[in-house]
Chains A and B, each alone.
Chain A
Amino acid sequence: MSKLTTSSSELDLDHPNIEDYLPSDSIQQPHAKLRLRDLLDISPTLTEAAGAIVDDSFTRCFKSNPPEPWNWNIYLFPLWCLGVVVRYGILFPVRVLVLTLGWIIFLSCYIPVHMLLKGHDKLRKRLERVLVELICSFFVASWTGVVKYHGPRPCARPKQVFVANHTSMIDFIVLEQMTAFAVIMQKHPGWVGLLQSTILESVGCIWFNRSEAKDREIVARKLREHVEGTDNNPLLIFPEGTCVNNHYTVMFKKGAFELGATVCPIAIKYNKIFVDAFWNSRKQEFSIQTSFTTHLLQLMTSWAVVCDVWYLEPQNMKPGETAIEFAERFDMVRSIISVRAGLKMVPWDGYLKYSRPSPKHRESKQQSFAESVLRRLEEK
């Protein structure tokens, strides 16, 4: 498990004031004379701290909520056992076969296309796009994925960026089987990384490294270049920056909204009735690799993955709106997606999973305390 770093300036929380969302308290009456009792009474601060220990909205975002076990009595249990036999003994091997078949078909078409059509870029890209969509369909089939798409399908037009809420790595696959997106994602080691650097590279994917501060500017530049290019696949961004458990959405990062492109929101909601698709990367695992492999295996031994995908109304700059004002609408887009998918919004930055909060928040509390004390000191 990566060690939590101390808060650093890169955790630049460019979003509306958290104080607006958290329960406010009047630490002291605003204009009464200051007495010893008021100074010593730290109960409001302690209450807030204890409240956070007992329950907090951030941890709730990353809690796995597996479907309720239903095998708890004498006649349901044998049924469940039968289900296990079917899932592991019949479905799983069939799915592995389907997936292997898919890979064979994919690789036998992709490698020749990639090698031989080096000179004919336009045709090569078109074919590679189709092939990536194909292998994603095979992946979805290997979990018996039942995906309902609502709304007009994305088309490859320049100057548009797609944003979606993020639950698991499979979000990308679910969306990719319908449209070959170029996605921006964290570079992973192992077999996932291999796939990233070969196949996904050809669709135009962009990599970033969460732990590198300088990375942000480089990535922002790459994104802008991609969006402005005429021949590139539509760009898909997950502005939350991390996987959330499909009951909540965390704060969106503004980056996607500062590219001078139309923002097209996509909402994804998984139906947990058969399996919980949330990829809980916080659970103790040996590495991201085993974690993702375990996740895929869990999906392949479940009955089905059921989800809804809604393509929502594209957001353009309104006449007279500046680029900065447009970028400020990122939270509104988050609410459009959250409402559509039935998710609750929380005011936390997803990256708090990996680092501590910046001192800014504590400072605003300290400032209001200091101001209140000094003001009341003046009162007679």
Chain B
Amino acid sequence: MGTASSTLTQYDIEDVQEHCNNLFSQQEIVSLYKRFCQLDRSAKGFISADEFLSVPEFAMNPLSQRLLKMVDGLNFKDFVIFLSAFNPKASTPQKIELIFKVYDSDYNGKVSFQDIMEVLRDLSGSFMSDKQIEEVLIKVLEEAGYSKDSSLLLGDFVKILDHPGLKMEVEVPVD
């Protein structure tokens, strides 16, 4: 399934399902495909950054640029794999892994103090100074037993974030 054709065969659907560990039902994959084609206006087989940003709700999101790096140019299969982390049936470690990837922008498997600061800057915009962010971050890191120089690994993230309140769920509308 290279370029986006207007129809999805049963074989394609099953292939995608396999790659996302059967988290999505076949109906949901068909819905996602319709959405994918809707966003991919020039039928290139992937959605460009510009096309993502044409969704105002996405463009308004403080983390849109970071997410754009992860979704720009994905074909349909990878698009579904990305969204599978937001499935209600996805495991908490899978969700935490996505969160980790958003922080780890250089993909070196480690989240440094600077990485966290950058995300916090995106989230707070001009309403918190760098000094304030640093202060807050050092304080909560120390209270949790980490120092400014420690790099957090995925395991650390799982330890910190894994709690029953972690909800990251998006429903796929099926008509």
What residues of chain A have their CB less than 8 Å away from a CB belonging to chain B? 4, 22, 34-43, 45-59, 63, 282, 284, 348, 352, 356-357, 361-363, 365-367, 369-371, 373-374, 377
For the A-B complex with A42-B63, A45-B61 known, give 4 more contacts whose Cβ atoms are closer than 8 Å.
A36-B144, A49-B63, A362-B62, A370-B125
Which residue in A45, A48, A371 is a CB contact (below 8 Å) of B57? Answer: A48
Name the residue among B124, B139, B163 with the largest chain A CB count within 10 angstroms: B124
Is B57 within 8 A of A36, CB to CB? no
Instruction: Report B88-139 residues with CB < 8 Å from chain A CB.
Output: 95, 98-99, 102-103, 116, 119-120, 123-128, 132, 136-137, 139
Q: Which residues of chain A come closer than 8 Å to B35, judged between CB atoms?
A: 54-55
A284 pairs with B56, CB closer than 8 A: no
CB–CB B55/A34 < 8 A? no
Partner pick for A357 among B56, B86, B103, B137, CB 8 A cutoff = B56
Cβ-defined contact, A374 with B132, below 8 A: yes
Q: Give the interface centre of B41, B99, B127 by most chain A CB atoms within 10 Å.
A: B127
Bound complex: CA of A365 vs CA of B124, how far in Å?
Answer: 8
Minimum Cβ distance to chain A for residue B169 (Å): 7
Q: Does B54 contact A (CB under 8 A)?
A: yes
Asked if residues A54 and B169 are in contact (CB atoms below 8 Å), the reply is no
* B50 sits at the interface (CB 8 A): yes
**Prevailing SS type, chain A contact patch:** helix
Across-interface contacts of A51 in B (CB, < 8 A)? 57, 170
Asked if B59 is an interface residue, CB under 8 A from chain A, the answer is yes
Residue of A40, A48, A284, A370 touching B61 (CB-CB under 8 A)? A48
Contact B160 A37 (CB under 8 A): yes
Q: B52, A53: Cβ atoms under 8 Å?
A: yes
For B123, the closest partner residue in chain A by CB is A369
Which 5 A-B pairs give the minimum distances between C-beta atoms? A366-B125, A370-B127, A52-B57, A36-B144, A52-B58
- Would you call A34 and B140 a contact (CB within 8 A)? yes
A59-B139 contact in complex given A53-B83, A356-B59, C-beta closer than 8 Å: no
Q: How far is the CA of A365 from the CA of B95 in the complex (A)?
A: 23
Known: A35-B143, A54-B172, A284-B41. A366 touches B124 (CB 8 A): yes
The CA of A34 and the CA of B140, in the complex, are separated in Å by 7
Contact B56 A362 (CB under 8 A): no
Q: In the assembled complex, how far is the CB of residue A29 from the closest CB belonging to chain B, in whole angstroms? A: 10
User: Closest CB-CB distance, B56 to chain A, in whole Å?
Assistant: 5
Contact A284 B42 (CB under 8 A): yes
Complex interface: chain B residues within 8 A of A373 (CB) = 124, 128, 136
Q: How far is the CA of A53 from the CA of B61 in the complex (A)?
A: 11
* B168 and A370 contact, CB distance less than 8 A: no
Partner among B71, B125, B127, B168 whose Cβ is within 8 Å of the Cβ of A53: B71
Q: How far is the CA of A282 from the CA of B51 in the complex (A)?
A: 12
Q: Is the CB of A39 within 8 A of B140?
A: yes
Given A58-B55, A58-B56, A58-B57, decide whether A50 and B170 contact each other with a Cβ distance below 8 A.
yes
Given that A37-B161, A370-B125 are known contacts, is A365 also in contact with B140, CB under 8 Å in the complex?
no
- Return chain B residues, CB-CB under 8 Å to A374: 128, 132, 136
B140 touches A54 (CB 8 A): no
Residues of B within 8 A of A41 (CB): 99, 161, 166
User: Could you tell me if B63 and A45 are in contact, using CB atoms closer than 8 angstroms?
Assistant: yes
CB–CB A34/B127 < 8 A: no
| Alpha-carbon distance A240/B160, docked complex (angstroms) | 48
Q: Is the Cβ of B55 less than 8 Å from the Cβ of A282?
A: no
23 contacts between A and B (CB under 8 A): A35-B140, A35-B143, A36-B141, A39-B116, A39-B120, A39-B136, A42-B99, A46-B86, A47-B167, A48-B57, A49-B58, A50-B168, A54-B35, A55-B35, A284-B41, A284-B42, A362-B61, A366-B127, A367-B127, A370-B125, A373-B124, A377-B136, A377-B139
